[in-house]
Amino acid sequence: MTLRSVSAVILAAMILHLVLVQPNHPAAMAWDALLLFPLELPAILLALLAFGTSRTGVILRLVLVVALISIFVLKTADFVMFTSLNRGFNLVGDMPLVGSFYDLIVGNLGAVAAIAAVIGAVLVIIGLALILWWAMRVWARLPLRRPLPALAAIAAVAGAALVITDVGAKMGRWSTPFPYPGTAFTARLGVERFRTAQDTIADLRVFRAAVANDPFAGQAGLFDLVDRDVIVVFVESYGRTSLDTPFYADLHRETLAKGEAELAALGLATSSTLLASPTQGGQSWLAHSTFANGLWVPNQTSYRAVLSSGRQTLFHLAQDAGFHTAAVMPQITLDWPEAQVMGFETILAEADLGYAGEPFNWITMPDQFTFAAMDRLLRDQRTDDRPYFIQMALGSSHAPWVPVPDLVDWDDLGDGTIFDPIVAASDTPRVVWKDYDRVRDQYRLAVDYALQTVFAYAALHADNPPLMIIVGDHQAAGFIALDERPHVPMHIVGPQALVNLLSDADFTPGLIPTKTTPIRRMDLMRAHILQALSTRQITEVAQ
């Protein structure tokens, strides 16, 4: 072989290596990523040598080019999604977001730039496909005398088996007797995304059947018994442990009892029950989606599927009934394109709420400020006569629970800088989380603050009270909650007539459900709320 031929062979192998080690996450974009050894590389090169320029070899190259280009596009989509939304790309569930991403480019850079970006992306893909075809042809044309092609085929099969073994081990299907000097990351990513797509399609079939059989869609007269604002408040990490585990219950039950008495003295009624949440320890959006859609959404795959299903949420139906729907989400700090299919007319994310104080570590702002900002931006500045139907997701009781703010006079909140001394005087999460007992104590205080804030807000508006539906999204992680059950409290606060409508036999008067309170799945709440607050009774087919 000439020096030019040797250089071409080395360059071709390097091209394949670079495609195989392409990162799919910004955190992996480092020089040491180039040092990874992809187990797929020897299997590919040996297969190219084994089949050479035969018809089978040409078909093999075509299949490999298509596969590697697909993985390249998938990794790039992953990278964009992790950068903008802090999660990977779902081949099925996220396809509707492609159009939204294009619209975002048009909005920020203009139509010409957006079209140029699309054309550029297509040219990059075509160019990479041609480069990969050339690189594979270089290896396929290497002359091998018999029996070397047969030996290369045997070695290729062994290399493929090594890839399969590594992928299965990394996915928890089995274990390997010793660590491999490399990783089949690209193959594993392809398998994982394929399985996720399959699962999403399966969920999508179920959810679309539910959409087709939704008895509430298009119905007139829904929510006709409601004459005021409705606020659905999700209290982060608020679970049944607050009622049953002595370390937490001793404080939280006292706060609930005090809140119940104070609200009753102001003429407000209260009622409570227990729900089974689809998640535990995190992923609050699964609970939000389950509650709003009336479908069980226990994982991210189901979440992507339900967003793509066309299901009308509680908020779509409220909007059709004449409410101004809104989402108040202080922990949303990135783009939130999913909100376009959730039924919200107005969205107030972290950047919209006007908090100028220091963040409480990973928590953007105290719950009390969130309530005040909601009033300032929505309820006190109405643009029409429509009542609001609001989803609010509180954040103060989200990990790391450091520091815990204090309630202040509502008139003193200002721009939030009043809380800065608390932040400055607190230990960092790194210090606190060295001691799990101290973490549990912080969690105890944080949930208590969240409950106090909710009831203080209800009391503040006792003269013209909204109907408040207060729901814990999920239990904290087991080592914090000390309770592995997925149960969460749900409270109704508002005028007696509306609280009575929502309170069936599974509810207990007051803010403390009994230990014998039946557990109802969270996905059943959509139908319950619609039936309870509407004159016309509609029978929902069980999903």
Q: How far is CA 165 from CA 39, 160, 327, 541, in A?
A: 11, 9, 46, 45
DSSP assigned state of 375: I
Cis amide leading into 147 (omega within 30):
yes
Report pLDDT for 70. 92
Q: Which two tokens stand for residue 112?
A: 């010409």
Rounded Cα–Cα distance for residues 296 and 210 (Å): 11
Rounded Cα–Cα distance for residues 126 and 165 (Å): 32
Residue 256 has pLDDT above 90, yes or no: yes
Nearby residues of 168 by Cβ (< 8 Å), 6 or more positions away: 174
Residue ranges and CATH numbers for the domains of the chain are 3-200 (no CATH), 213-532 (3.40.720.10)
Q: Is 288 helix (H, G, I), strand (E, B) or coil?
A: helix
Residue 108 has pLDDT above 60, yes or no: no
133-165 residue pLDDT tens: 999 999 999 988 889 889 988 999 988 888 898
Rounded Cα–Cα distance for residues 394 and 402 (Å): 15
10-54 residue pLDDT tens: 999 999 999 998 988 888 888 877 888 899 999 999 999 999 889
The string of DSSP codes covering 401-412 is --S------GGG
Q: What is the pTM of this model?
A: 0.71
The string of DSSP codes covering 49-76 is HHHTTSHHHHHHHHHHHHHHHHHHHHHH
How would residue 1 be classed by pLDDT, with cut points 50, 70 and 90?
low
Q: Is 460 helix (H, G, I), strand (E, B) or coil?
A: helix
Rounded Cα–Cα distance for residues 73 and 478 (Å): 38
Report pLDDT for 540. 57
Residue 78 has pLDDT above 80, yes or no: yes
